[in-house]
């Protein structure tokens, strides 16, 4: 591959001496400069919808740490909002949305191609970033995968066991499938517009994939991911896609082949030797440092970082956390992780 962008080389399947590095939630509350910009925006959603400020917070961790990729600053719940759901954030608690309990709630949603009306500021953020990022740093666009987005739309909030979404899919499978299909179509529209605006790779976050079992995993995690990837690749044949079926355990095996993903992001629970044999066998993997190390640091962080680089050294790998960095993380530990990866 002719690009100098380490991340894109890994996504194309190249094994590198040291892996490219970025972090999930790398723009966030553990950074004082993020908190300052967020205060300027007012609330979190205003930050997401103000292109100059969203671009600024995307750039902050690149300037401070020199990551090999930037991830667009936005949220997976902007898609439900663009489909017509009410969305707000309760400080200290998390997101709240209007719920989907019955056919009438679903029927009130907008069609998939109406999402651009709400989401166009996000595309503006992508355009600013394509101009302002250093030439060696690609921008990753993203969206939630349909199942994970549906769990929030049905329950109206985050839930520990995704109970309301499971109940709706079991009681009204036809209605639930229509919801999944609407989110799938909206996500293709959204990611395609991000790519048109300049995103060089995209990632699908299926944070709650692990609560789906058997045929449900196929129907609601694997199939929608596959549908999104094939539609995107039809429109943008060279776009690399990262899939993150978090906590999918043994279903990580074969996920890249079944969905067409170029890279699969590994959570922190997945045994590394198993992942080398069953996932990296099929292509690039990303992960999987436990986010807690960014809070505790020290020799344990160094040892674990080296062990991850070592484990995945034989194939294409992107160094990352197994989930998002938390607000109590210490930026010094992020710098230590970077230095350790680069010298591993």
Stretch that binds ligand CP3, among 26-34, 216-224, 263-271, 308-316 (CB under 6 A): 26-34
Judged by beta carbon, residue 95 or residue 198, the one nearer ligand CP3 is 95
Radius of gyration, CA atoms only, the chain: 19
In 3D, which of 285, 290, 341 has the Cα closest to residue 318?
Answer: 285
One residue of 56, 68, 75, 189 binding ligand CP3 per CB under 6 A:
75
Q: Which of 53, 77, 155, 242 binds ligand CP3 (CB under 6 A)?
A: 77
Footprint on residues 179-198 left by ligand CP3 (CB under 6 A): none
Residues 220-239 that bind ligand CP3 (CB under 6 A): none
Q: Interface with ligand CP3 includes 25 (CB under 6 A)?
A: yes
127, 52 in Cβ contact below 8 A?
no
207 annotated as a binding-site residue:
yes
In whole angstroms, what separates CA 137 from the centre of its chain?
17
30 included as an active-site residue: no
Distance of CA 80 to the CA centre of its chain: 16
Question: Could you tell me the smallest distance in angstroms from the CB atom of residue 174 to ligand CP3?
Answer: 26
- CA atoms lying within 13 Å on the CB side of residue 239: 30
Alpha-carbon span 240 to 158, nearest angstrom: 29
Closest CA to 264 of 190, 219, 208, 204: 204
Q: Is 60 among the residues that bind ligand CP3 (CB under 6 A)?
A: no
Q: What does the alpha-carbon distance between residue 262 and residue 202 come to, in Å, rounded to a whole number?
A: 10
242, containing H or E segment: strand 241-245
Q: Which of 30, 34, 49, 152 is catalytic?
A: 152
Residue 27 among known ligand-binding residues: yes
- Answer positive or negative: Cα dihedral of 38, 43, 47, 52: negative
247 contacts ligand CP3 (rule: CB under 6 A): no
Question: Residue 226: which of 250, 254, 246 has the closest Cα?
Answer: 254
Residue of 9, 38, 182, 246 marked active site: 38
Place of tokens 């190390």: 293
From residue 113 to residue 142, the character string flagging contacts with ligand CP3 as x (rule: CB under 6 A) and all else as - is -----------------------------x
Active-site residue, 25 included: yes
Number of residues engaging ligand CP3 in binding (CB under 6 A): 21
d(CA 220, CA 34): 35
Which of these ranges, 23-31, 98-106, 188-196, 224-232, lies near ligand CP3 under the rule CB under 6 A? 23-31
Helix boundaries (H) for 66-102: 78-82
Q: Which of 75, 206, 262, 267 is catalytic?
A: 75
> Active-site residue 131, yes or no?
no
What is d(CA 133, CA 302) in angstroms, rounded to the nearest whole number? 29
29 is in an annotated binding site: yes
Which one of 84, 121, 158, 260 is in contact with ligand CP3 (CB under 6 A)?
A: 158
The footprint of ligand CP3 (CB under 6 A) covers: 24-29, 38, 44, 71, 73, 75-77, 94-95, 142, 144, 158, 205, 207, 324
Binding positions for substrate are 25-29, 75, 152, 207, 323
Which residues does the annotation place in the binding site?
25-29, 75, 152, 207, 323
């Amino acid at each position: 591959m002719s690009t100098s962008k380490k991340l894109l080389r890994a996504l194309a399947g190249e094994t590198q001496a040291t892996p490219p590095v970025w972090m999930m939630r790398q723009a966030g509350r553990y950074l004082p400069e993020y908190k300052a910009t967020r205060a300027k925006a007012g609330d979190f959603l205003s930050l997401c919808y103000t292109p100059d400020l969203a671009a600024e917070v995307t750039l902050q961790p690149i300037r401070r740490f020199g990551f090999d990729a930037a991830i667009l600053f936005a949220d997976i719940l902007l898609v439900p909002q663009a489909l017509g759901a009410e969305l707000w954030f309760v400080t200290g608690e998390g997101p709240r949305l209007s719920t989907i309990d019955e056919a009438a709630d679903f029927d009130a949603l907008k069609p998939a191609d109406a999402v651009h009306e709400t989401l166009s500021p996000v595309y503006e953020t992508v355009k600013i970033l394509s101009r302002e990022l250093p030439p060696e740093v690609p921008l990753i666009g993203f969206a939630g995968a349909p199942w994970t987005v549906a769990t929030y739309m049905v329950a109206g909030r985050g839930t520990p066991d995704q109970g309301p979404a499971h109940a709706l899919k079991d009681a009204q499978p036809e209605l639930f499938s229509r919801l999944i299909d609407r989110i799938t179509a909206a996500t293709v529209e959204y990611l395609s517009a991000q790519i048109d605006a300049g995103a060089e790779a995209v990632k699908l976050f299926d944070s709650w994939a692990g609560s789906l079992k058997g045929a449900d995993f196929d129907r609601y995690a694997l199939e929608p991911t596959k549908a999104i990837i094939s539609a995107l690749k039809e429109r943008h044949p060279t776009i690399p896609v990262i899939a993150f079926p978090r906590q999918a355990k043994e279903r990580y095996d074969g996920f890249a082949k079944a969905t067409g993903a170029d890279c699969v992001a590994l959570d922190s629970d997945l045994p590394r030797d198993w992942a080398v044999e069953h996932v990296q066998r099929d292509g690039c993997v990303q992960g999987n440092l436990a986010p807690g190390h960014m809070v505790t640091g020290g020799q344990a962080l160094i040892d674990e970082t080296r062990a991850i680089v070592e484990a995945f050294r034989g194939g294409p790998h992107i160094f990352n956390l197994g989930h998002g960095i938390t607000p109590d993380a210490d930026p010094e530990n992020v710098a230590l992780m970077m230095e350790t990866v680069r010298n591993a």
